[in-house]
Amino acid sequence: MTPPWLIALVLVVAGGQWAHGLLAQQRAAPAPALETIQIRPNVYVIFGAGSNITVHLGEDGVILVDSGSEAMADKVLDAVKAITRQPIRMIVSTSADADHVGGNDKVGATGVPINPDQFTDEERATVLSHENVLTRMSAPKGNETPFPVGMWPTETFTSKFRSMYINDDAIQVMRQIGAHSDGDIMVLFRRADVVATGDVLDLRHFPDINPAKGGSIQGELEALNRLLEVVVPAMPLVLKPGRTLVVPGHGRVSDYGEIVEYRDMVTVIRDIIQDMAGKGMTLEQVKAANPTQGYRRRYGADSGPWTTDMFVEAIYSGLKKPAGKS
């Protein structure tokens, strides 16, 4: 008869080997695959690359809104190639955030410029952004450059619109600085009836307003209201369906109704905090009063890169400062 202690030893060794094998499998497991969905005949959205990436196709090539994080650049290229063999012609960067511009270098290097540079023979996709994005990425004041040169925009603008006609579609790149940051833009594909918003809109949580990078509550509400001006809602009781689709910087594709609800939520919380601040309440007193209570369960976050407390702080401090020019 086998001694009980020997049986126990065998079980321990076998369990350890099983656990070691499971750990090895977990370490060797590849990163999650990206998800791609088609929202229009010539428009796709790639999810899981750090930020959402909008892909617009046509006879001129591929237009991307954002390129995701640097770590996901290879997977982004694979996802684009799975959609089309057309070259990438332009990347529009909606802000200077690393999860939106990290793929600019590697993804852009595979492309062809929409506007060839007569001063260089290098072939790579055009990267377009607001001028403030280049300013933040290039650190012109002598500080250490936070991004390599290959990620920088190759074309910038400061006007209210940067309009172009590509892929048989009118594309309007709209300046909306001072919402999430001082480099925000939104992109409207007029024929496709799709708007890519960058981090101006993120339905997963309260707006990510970054005062250190030029964001403000006033600018955020201006951006949401402007978004509602260009987004067309579905018509109830009409046999022919149709609506503008909105691709946020993160999270699911949305539409007019969801943006109205989101805008109203932000407005209500702004008004509550404004009233509290007007009564002389300190920031800590405002936080203790829980001005987000009615919406916290749906949009709140107590941990992670963006929390409810940070949202309240951004509103409280922003109410004392003028909004950035949009």
**Does 175 reside within a domain?**
yes
**Does 218 reside within a domain?**
yes
- Chain-wide mean pLDDT for the chain? 88
**Does 120 reside within a domain?**
yes
CA-angle at 52, arms to 50 and 58, nearest 5°: 130
**Does 10 reside within a domain?**
no
Q: What is the pLDDT of residue 192?
A: 97
Confidence band, pLDDT 50/70/90 cuts, at residue 25:
very low
Percentage of the residues of the chain whose pLDDT score is greater than 70: 84
Mean pLDDT is lowest, of 65-79, 88-102, 104-118, for 104-118
Q: What is the mean pLDDT of residues 78-89?
A: 96
Distance of CA 114 to the CA centre of its chain: 23
187 near 169, Cβ under 8 Å?
no
Sign of the Cα pseudo-torsion (18, 19, 21, 22, in order): positive
The CATH number of the domain holding residue 251 is 3.60.15.10
Q: What is the mean pLDDT of residues 126-130?
A: 96
Q: Domain containing 156: what range?
A: 35-256
Q: What is the mean pLDDT of residues 270-274?
A: 97
Residue 228 CA to residue 241 CA, distance in Å, equals: 19
Number of structural domains the chain divides into = 1
CA distances from 68 to 64, 282, 302 (A): 10, 38, 25
pLDDT in tens, 100-120: 999 999 999 999 998 776 666
Q: What is the pLDDT of residue 9?
A: 43
Q: What is the pLDDT of residue 301?
A: 86
Q: How many CA atoms lie within 13 A of 51 on its CB side?
A: 33
**Does 312 reside within a domain?**
no
Percentage of the residues of the chain whose pLDDT score is greater than 90: 77
**Does 287 reside within a domain?**
no
Confidence band, pLDDT 50/70/90 cuts, at residue 10:
very low
Q: What is the pLDDT of residue 146?
A: 83
**Does 234 reside within a domain?**
yes
Q: What is the pLDDT of residue 66?
A: 98
Q: What is the pLDDT of residue 142?
A: 64
Q: What is the pLDDT of residue 145?
A: 79
End-to-end CA distance of the chain: 84
Mean pLDDT is lowest, of 38-42, 92-96, 144-148, for 144-148
Checking if the pLDDT of 43 tops 70, the result is yes
Checking if the pLDDT of 211 tops 60, the result is yes
Look up residue 123 and give its two tokens. 């072939």
pTM over 0.95: no
**Does 185 reside within a domain?**
yes
